[in-house]
Amino acid sequence: MAKEKIMIIGAGRYQVPIIEKAKEMGYETIAVSPQGAYPGLDIADKVYYLDVRDEKGILNVARGEKVSGVTTDQTDIAVRTVAYVCTHTGLSGIDYDTATLFTNKLMMRERSRQLGLPTIRYKLCRSLDDAKTFFASLGRSAILKPVDNQGSRGVYMIESMKELEKRFYDTLTFSPTGQAIIEEYIHGREFEVDSIVVNYEEKTLMYADTDLYSIPNVFASKTRLYPSVADSESIEKLLDLNHKTITGFGLKQGLTHSEYIQDEETGEIYLIEAAARGGGSYISSHIAELQTGVNTSEFLINLALGKVKEMPEFETGRCHCGYVTFYLPEGEVIDVGEIDKVRSFSFVKKDTLDDIYPGLKTLSFNDKTARNVVIVDAGSREELLANIETIRKTLNTKVMTRNGIEGPIWR
Ligand SMILES: Nc1ncnc2c1ncn2[C@@H]1O[C@H](COP(=O)(O)OP(=O)(O)O)[C@@H](O)[C@H]1O
Ligand SMILES: [Mg+2]
């Protein structure tokens, strides 16, 4: 009998776990991705070279191949396409409007406000004048971002009118629809919550403390540590807000990955953004399993095939784990350093270090996608921090830069 077919949209390193799992489960895997050095292309049974956002083209492939399911994980850019294919074929998935809401920062703010949830003050900017008017009325720092992109591309902190004028058009170029949003900059600690949704029922998988780099306009986390060790009152508020957000946004099924910030002056917690997919950087594929025992790839595949009828049972907070990330400075790698030693540590569970090789030309980093990631586990937060320090001290990669030899940037 011919194998059932499952289509995975996206074939980058973070889609490899779900492609591998689908194969292991006995399905024929059909990957869709542009041509390029995407590792999923080498392991999928069949490949179609299409832009991940090409909704009609990918729908045609799904119909032609008579796939039994379509899914993605760990990337936002495929979320709407998956919903498009599901909507037009009747395959198990979420509807297109919900997928649009979860991939549009303006719509998320509007919906949160309608739901009566605490919402960061914001304004859609159709022109530089719109942005200037809002910034003047705010009277404090703002953040400017494209309404529909990911990976911190085109995101800027705005502290003066001059800076707003300088950044505005650049931000617009990062929006496929040419729209920017400006909002109040909240100072405070950041959290992330992942949950699992079946038949509109939402259950928390895990939640983390997020720590950002101190490099200006690099809005990326240097560590993300699970579970968060914030006070129980804040955690309760956080999980309640996440529940109200995900259910209020009308998500039928899948994984969610959402970022929150707690105003240090008022204690109020606000949504930054919510995604209708598992977290990238191996959060979905590796951290979720360490935290809960749930193999999210298997869950997503079964969900896409219409085989999940009820919420799975799982434990939470099984360990302390998370990721530590680093950038390499701009230049050329002359010595990869102690990658093998780092990998030999029993607490290192997964990494992206095979991306680093002698002669690698490292580019200036301006978004999260240039980060290198190491997944770490431990028995306590203290031990987790110590393990991360050990990795930082050991790695010792050397890059020849314009200013001489430099090592990884960890903070
Ligand atoms: N209103 C805000 N106040 C403070 N920090 C913010 C705000 N909005 C975004 N950030 C920071 O910028 C990062 C990137 O913004 P986000 O909206 O998540 O865009 P992206 O889709 O590029 O991740 C967030 O993770 C957060 O650290
Ligand atoms: Mg984000």
Least confident of 83-97, 226-240, 354-368, 380-394: 354-368
Helices and strands (H, E) in the chain, number of each type: 13, 20
In angstroms, the Cα distances linking 57 to 6, 37, 40, 50, 183 are 16, 21, 19, 7, 36
Q: What is the mean pLDDT of residues 251-257?
A: 98
The predicted structure's pLDDT at residue 366 = 65
Q: Is pLDDT at 160 greater than 70 in this prediction?
A: yes
For 299-332, what is each residue's pLDDT tens digit?
999 999 999 999 999 999 999 999 999 999 999 9
Number of separate domains in the chain: 4
pLDDT for 152: 84
Give yes or no: residues 255 and 291 share one domain: yes
Question: Do the domain assignments include residue 97?
Answer: no
Of 291, 318, 345, the residue that ends a domain is 318
Q: Which amino acid residue places its CA nearest to atom 13 of ligand 1?
A: 219
Do 202 and 291 lie in a common domain? Answer: yes
Q: Is residue 153 part of a domain?
A: yes
Ligand 1 pocket mutation, candidates 150, 182, 259, criterion most atoms within 8 A of CB: 259
Contact 82, 93 (CB under 8 A): yes
- In this prediction, residue 367 has a pLDDT band, given cuts at 50, 70 and 90, of low
If you average pLDDT over residues 174-179, what whole number do you get?
91
Burial tier of 404 (Cβ tally within 10 Å: 0-12, 13-18, 19+)? exposed
Is 267 part of a structural domain of the chain? yes
- Give mean pLDDT, residues 97-104: 97
Identify the band that residue 75 occupies on the pLDDT scale cut at 50, 70 and 90.
Answer: very high
Residue 198 sits in the same domain as residue 174: no
Of 318, 346, 366, the one marking the end of a domain is 318
* 306 and 327, same domain (yes or no): no
The answer to whether residue 197 scores a pLDDT higher than 70 is: yes
In a domain, 31, yes or no: yes
Which distant-in-sequence residues (6+ apart) come within 8 Å of 131 by Cβ?
Answer: 123, 125, 144, 164, 168, 180, 182
Residues 281 and 338 in one domain: no
- Ligand 1 centroid to Cα of residue 219, in Å, is 6
Question: How would residue 108 be classed by pLDDT, with cut points 50, 70 and 90?
Answer: very high
- Please tell me the distance from the alpha carbon of residue 216 to that of residue 232, in angstroms, as a whole number: 31
Q: What pTM was estimated for this model as a whole? A: 0.96
Residue 262: CATH number of its domain: 3.30.470.20
Regarding whether 280 and 264 lie in a shared domain, the answer is yes
Residue 103 domain-assigned? no
Classify residue 219: in a domain, yes or no.
no
CATH of the domain at 134: 3.30.1490.20
The answer to whether residue 146 sits within a structural domain is yes
Angstrom distances, CA of residue 297 to CA of 101, 303, 316: 23, 10, 17
Are residues 312 and 207 both part of a single domain?
Answer: yes
Confidence of residue 368 (pLDDT cuts 50, 70, 90): low
pLDDT of 258 strictly over 80: yes
Whether 67 and 141 share a structural domain = no
Atom in ligand 1 nearest the alpha carbon of residue 152: 22
216 pLDDT above the threshold of 90: no
Query: For position 384, what pLDDT does the model report?
Result: 98
Determine the residue type at 180.
A
* Closest alpha carbon to 14 in 379, 351, 364, 319: 351
* CATH number of 33's domain: 3.40.50.20
Pair 269, 391 in one domain: no
- pLDDT average, residue stretch 36-41: 96
Residue 116 lies in a domain: no
Range of the domain at 173: 121-184
Asked if 195 and 311 sit in the same domain, the reply is yes
Same domain for 334 and 247, yes or no, is no
- What average pLDDT does the segment 150-160 reach? 91
Report how far ligand 1's centroid is from the alpha carbon of 23 (Å).
36
